[in-house]
Amino acid sequence: MNPIDVLLNHRTIREFKSSPMPPQQLSILLDIAKRTATSMGMQSFSIIRIVNPELKAAIAEVCNQEYVARVPELFIFIVDAYRNSRIAREQGVTSDSERDSDRFFQGWTDAAIAAQNMVAAAELGGFGTVYFGSILNNVPKMIELLKLPELTFPVVGLGIGVPNQKPQLKPRMPREANVFDDSYTVFDSYLELLEDYDEEMEQYYDMRDMNRRVDSFTKQIAGKKAVPLRQKLIQQAEAQGFKFTI
């Protein structure tokens, strides 16, 4: 499969073979993540590779997803303004800007882009990947488990390994629904716009191998509820030393 086809056939893998990743390929993936574009060249992110099985199991509990503990390679991407703060302080420089919301979101973007670069590289190498946004279910616990200092914050988990399943390709909404020229497009009826997509999603859920159900995209949106555990992310970031108000 050529690189374009690999990227166009991205799918989330939740079951992996137990075979470990060869050290050379692991090193390449980490180098690719480190070479990712970064805001202002500040490289305000870090990656924590989880190698302790007990720690991995504890993270699986936070995620409420038992298969997290079985992922061959697990990485946690974090906002990291701590390192640059220390670099400045060791030169006698202190500034409130090291704690502002701009630095936080620079680090968040850096971490997210690095994670996606790693995903693309891993899939091009024949590996499967899965994101774990569920690490945000309990940020204080993740901070405790990873021993994160101030001015750091967990962003997303990433699992990589040799796939042990090949799930159906999940449909995406039509391009006209979320790709616009020059300005944002507002539609008279989003239900009409997504009618064909809903039918495609209904067929997908009805025919997939696992967790078959009657569902559609718009029904999911209408039924989606807030995750109570994730309603205090700003306060939790402030507890890590970041400032979101002037």
**Residue-range domain boundaries for the chain:** 3-167+226-239, 175-223
| CB contact burial 155-171 (16+ within 10 A = b; e otherwise) | bbbbbbbebeeeeeeee
Least confident among 56-65, 90-99, 143-152, 157-166:
90-99
- Which amino acid would we find at residue 27? S
Work out the pLDDT band at 238, boundaries 50, 70, 90: very high
Instruction: With residue 118 as reference, give the H or E element that holds it.
Output: helix 101-124
pLDDT at 233 over 90: yes
pLDDT at 214 over 80: no
Architecture per CATH, domain 3-167+226-239, reads as 3-Layer(aba) Sandwich (3.40)
Backbone torsions φ then ψ of 207, nearest 5 degrees: -105, -5
Give the C-alpha separation, 82 to 44, whole Å: 8
Q: Under a CB-based contact definition with an 8 Å cutoff, are residues 119 and 30 in contact?
A: no
Q: Under a CB-based contact definition with an 8 Å cutoff, are residues 46 and 78 in contact?
A: yes
**CB neighbourhood size of 48 (10 A):** 20
- Judge residue 210's burial from the number of C-beta atoms within 10 Å of its C-beta, 0-12 exposed, 13-18 middle, 19 or more buried: exposed
Work out the pLDDT band at 209, boundaries 50, 70, 90: low
**Arithmetic mean of pLDDT over the chain:** 94
The pLDDT, as a whole number, for residue 227 is: 78
For 115-171, the pLDDT digits (tens) are: 999 999 999 999 999 999 999 999 999 999 999 999 999 999 999 999 999 899 999
Query: 1 vs 4, 7, 55, 86, 123, CA distance in Å?
Result: 8, 10, 36, 45, 11
